[in-house]
Amino acid sequence: MAALTKEETEALIQEVLEIYPEQAKKDRAKHLAVNDPTLEKSNKCITSNRKSQPGVMTIRGCAYAGSKGVVWGPIKDMIHISHGPVGCGQYSRAGRRNYYVGTTGVNTFGTMNFTSDFTEKDIVFGGDKKLAKIITEIEGLFPLHKGISIQSECPIGLIGDDIEAVAKKGNKEIDKPVIPVRCEGFRGVSQSLGHHIANDAIRDWVLGNRDGDESFPTTPYDVAVIGDYNIGGDAWASRTLLEEMGLRVVAQWSGDGTLAEIENTPKVKLNLIHCYRSMNYIARHMEEKYKIPWIEYNFFGPTKIAESLRRIASHFDDTIKEGAERVIKRYEAEYQAVIDKYKPRLEGKRVMLYIGGLRPRHVIGAYEDLGMEVVGTGYEFGHNDDYDRTIKEMGNATLLYDDVTGYEFEEFVKRVQPDLIGSGIKEKYIFQKMGIPFRQMHSWDYSGPYHGYDGFAIFARDMDMTLNNPCWKQVKAPWKTEAGSEDVKIAA
Amino acid sequence: MPSVMLKKNSEGKLIFYVPKKDLEEVAESVEFDTADKWGGEVLLADGSKYYFEPIAPPDFPITLRAKRLDSGEE
């Protein structure tokens, strides 16, 4: 199907909005837009980070998800207590696949669920005593943990428990950091505020812990990887490239990260931000307090990797600049072989994305390297500054949708007829039943890593495996299929 | 009275960032920007104006309180 023109896309948005009542229509219209890459600022065309309309099927998460699930959860040598009813922690346990090394239950705790399991009694009489007891118990059962964070669930804020006081007492008792995080789920409009709250908690309770302590030996090439959650091993695939070009990665925030790494981050020379949405706050804070510059980078697909490596190297001396060129050269044959193999099978295919923090814009380059085209993208919880950065990456007259509702997304897909959709688990089966190839782009559909040159090979294979899977031909009854559909080119 | 994070970008221009509003904008002009005084009216690229109490030139990046004078269009 040919690409839609600007007028057609605008008409499509109007058509989809038709079903809403007046008020909802007015509100939703602000969140749907046709991309115009010439615009400098996104607020001219799209509104974001607003409360979802009651009654629509939004795909957003909550502040607790943003704090415990995203920012704090992957810090492996700390114990994160899901303070409140049991469900929030249990249903999100280990679902994000933040890989780490260590012995779970002994010195690392990433995939375990610690909860205060609130019952009616705790709501009525308060849960502070229970929390204090949990801290003591944790110290007895898991003596090798490096600290505890208390991740509040909704009831904590509603009943007004004083977790800060319990944390202070616990800190004295066990002589390890005990960090209260006020990330009750009802705060804010989406998980985005949870990221901010979590960043602020790190700023207030962790970052300054080693100020004035010069015992950590530094080098001029120290960097920190910020906003890489090591999903399916992403951070490892990124880290090898940085180390190969001569940099020393002091800290990984927070995939496979430790408390000590985070405390040592103020000693680095440059902060590298991958997920801008969830961790720009802390980078800005470090820039102000410790004068550490930060840059954003993108490790999806060889074009963007080369761009990013050169941009990172430009902040260092010639040895690192040479290192960057050496790394790009070294992997050239490898990624060229991947492109040669998969591009003929994927060329010209159209993709629609609807994801979270950084991927709606970051993965565009990787698709383009494979000759594919992204025809629609959107953020669950992006802000204006995310869309500012997206507009330039996207083609003219492509769709932008913010906090898209289940209905709108389905209608867009029916009309645009993309060859592949990248979104989350809640969308997966709807679109697969509609007969459209689908990849989960939050968890890499249980695959990964997708970052770095090694990740690109896996990315390309996965996209091909999904898109050109023979099963999609079986979705329609044989007597209803069009005769003479084109055959997929056989891989070289 | 929003808190504004101010920093210089690679071209030496002043970047104006208000965390609560996701407003990230280049400052077009600053009323006082001399060796002994900094502040006054700041005009942003999107047309809005903010006012800072004049102070001795700060060390950027820094967070300062600003008063909003004019929201530009809208």
Q: Closest residue of B to A277, CA-based?
A: B22
Per the listing, tokens 């290192």 go with A323
Q: Is residue B14 part of a domain?
A: yes
B63–chain A Cβ distance below 8 A for any pair: yes
In a domain, B74, yes or no: no
Interface of B with A in 4-43 (CB under 8 A): 5, 7, 17, 19, 22-24
Query: What does the DSSP assignment read for A188-226?
Result: SSSHHHHHHHHHHHHHHHTGGGGTT---S---TTEEEEE
Give catalytic status of residue A239 as yes or no. no
- Known catalytic residue: A460? no
> What φ, ψ does residue A435 adopt, rounded to 5°?
85, 20
User: pLDDT digit string (tens) for A308-335?
Assistant: 999 999 999 999 999 999 999 999 999 9
- Distance to chain B for A292, nearest Cα, Å: 10
For residue A417, count other CB atoms closer than 10 A to its CB: 12
- Say yes or no for a CB contact (<8 Å) between A385 and B22: yes
Across all residues in chain A, what is the average pLDDT?
A: 93
Q: One of A28, A31, A33, A65 is an active-site residue; which one?
A: A65
Residue B53 contacts A, CB cutoff 8 Å:
no
Instruction: Dump strand ranges (E) for A245-402.
Output: 248-254, 270-273, 294-296, 350-353, 373-377, 399-401
Question: Is B37 within a domain?
Answer: yes
Q: Is the pLDDT of residue B19 over 50?
A: yes
Q: Are A232 and A447 in contact (CB under 8 A)?
A: yes
Q: Which amino acid is at A8?
A: E
Taking contacts as CB-CB distances below 8 angstroms, the residues of chain A near B61 are 284, 287-288, 291
Task: Give the distance from residue B41's alpha carbon to the nearest chain A alpha carbon, in angstroms.
Answer: 22
Of A9-13, A359-363, B39-43, where does mean pLDDT reach its minimum? B39-43
Tell me whether the omega of the peptide bond preceding residue A344 falls within 30 degrees of 0, making it cis: no
Dump pLDDT digits (tens) for A30-77: 999 999 988 888 888 899 999 999 999 999 999 999 999 999 999 999
Which residues in chain B touch residue A47, judged by CB atoms under 8 angstroms apart? none
Q: What CATH number should be reported for the domain holding residue B35?
A: 2.40.50.240
Query: Which residues from B are below 8 Å from A284, CB to CB?
Result: 5, 17, 19, 61
Q: Tell me how far apart the alpha carbons of residues A449 and A459 are, in angstroms, rounded to a whole number.
A: 8
- Active-site pick, A80, A96, A145, A359: A96
Is A62 an active-site residue?
A: yes
Tell me if B73 is assigned to some domain: no
Report which of A178, A135, A184 is spatially closest to residue A161, judged by C-alpha positions.
A184
Q: Quote the pLDDT of residue A95.
A: 87
Domain total of chain B = 1
Cβ neighbours for A251, distance < 8 A, ≥ 6 positions apart: A224, A225, A226, A257, A261, A262, A264, A265, A268
3-state secondary structure of A301: coil
Report the predicted TM-score, pTM, of the whole model to 2 decimal places.
0.93
- From the list A28, A31, A145, A195, the catalytic residue is A195
The DSSP output letter for A374 is: E
The number of C-beta contacts closer than 8 angstroms across A and B is 22
Sign of CA dihedral A266, A271, A276, A281: positive
How far apart (Å, rounded) are the C-alpha atoms in residues A197 and A192?
Answer: 9
Q: Do B5 and A288 touch (CB under 8 A)?
A: yes
pLDDT at A370 over 50: yes
pLDDT at A328: 97
- Inter-residue contact A393 to A364 (CB < 8 Å): yes
Beta bridge partners of B7: B15
CB contact under 8 A, B5 and A384: no
CA distance A281 to chain B (A): 8
Indicate if A275 belongs to the active site. Answer: no
- Residue B53 structural domain: 3-68
- Inter-chain residue contact A49 with B22, CB threshold 8 Å: yes
Predicted complex ipTM: 0.85
Question: A489 pLDDT band (50/70/90 cuts)?
Answer: low
